[in-house]
Amino acid sequence: MELWYSERGIVPGLALSVEVSKVLHEEQTEFQHLAIVDTPLYGRMLWLDNIIMTNIKDEFVYHEMISHVALNTHPNPKKVLVIGGGDGGAIREIIKHPSVEKAVLVEIDRRVVETSKEYLPEIAGALDDPKVEVLYEDGIKYAKEHKNEFDVILVDSTDPIGPAVGLFEGDFYKNCYEALKEDGIFVAQTESPYYNEKLIPKVQKDIRSLYPITKLYLAFIPTYPGGCWSFTMGSKKHDPETVDFSTRPNYPARYYNHGIHKAAFVLPNFVHELINK
């Protein structure tokens, strides 16, 4: 008998279904329902509250794009904060940059980290690196309590439901701004431009109220609704479209390169309209 997992409800009227060969782990954590399954098409896959978070086959796109765009825009990132991202993929990419001395991961749900390390070592393998500090606490509270400390902050959140709702609010963005140093850079994943026509303009307005440089960029991720995914950057000083790549480090990547960095900011007309509402 075939077994299929379906993501329903995050986009009204849309379901994303994946054939599952085996359920590897399933539990109700303190914060959310967590499942790790094996699939014929995407390999092992992490689900939270019945929503696809990441998988072995296409995870590199999301994790490279949420990380390297900011880390190459900043000329010398030494201390980086990741809020969310308990699967460890963003951390893996961050520590590829030789200038990074410390990466702090703040994840509210300990079980996301623990099960990712057990079942998704290709993604979570860098969480034990000596440069990395993993904290199990509320990222909203953490950002509020740490001022002028980080060069780059990445918000690697789930969708704006459940424990992640506060990670899309103006007060949180303001706390992140204050947690950054004077030339710091902020990046958040900001959902699909096809299906989040209300969220993306709101985030743009909130980030523009804080940062002199605010830009949205895109990447293409097959297992996320619509396939086209947005990230929003706020920068206090450095423009991501004027990076001198001759001074940036080389490291292995499967999706990101200097051409992709530049092209990601070239937006379709409907996305321009969306961010200028």
**Binding-site residue set for spermidine:** 63, 87, 156-159
Q: What is the DSSP letter of 14?
A: -
Determine the distance from the C-alpha atom of residue 105 to the mean position of all C-alpha atoms in its chain, rounded to a whole number: 12
Q: How far is CA 48 from CA 88, 233, 244, 267, in A?
A: 15, 25, 39, 30
3: enclosing H helix or E strand:
strand 3-8
Q: What is the DSSP letter of 250?
A: P
Q: Is 156 a catalytic residue?
A: yes
C-beta of residue 92 within 8 angstroms of C-beta of residue 125: yes
Which token pair is 223?
């297992």
Which residues pair with residue 52 across a beta bridge? 47
Given 156, 206, 239, 244, the catalytic residue: 156
Which token pair is 171?
């007060």
Euclidean distance between CA atoms 264 and 48, whole angstroms: 28
Which token pair is 72?
């190459």
The set of catalytic residues is: 156
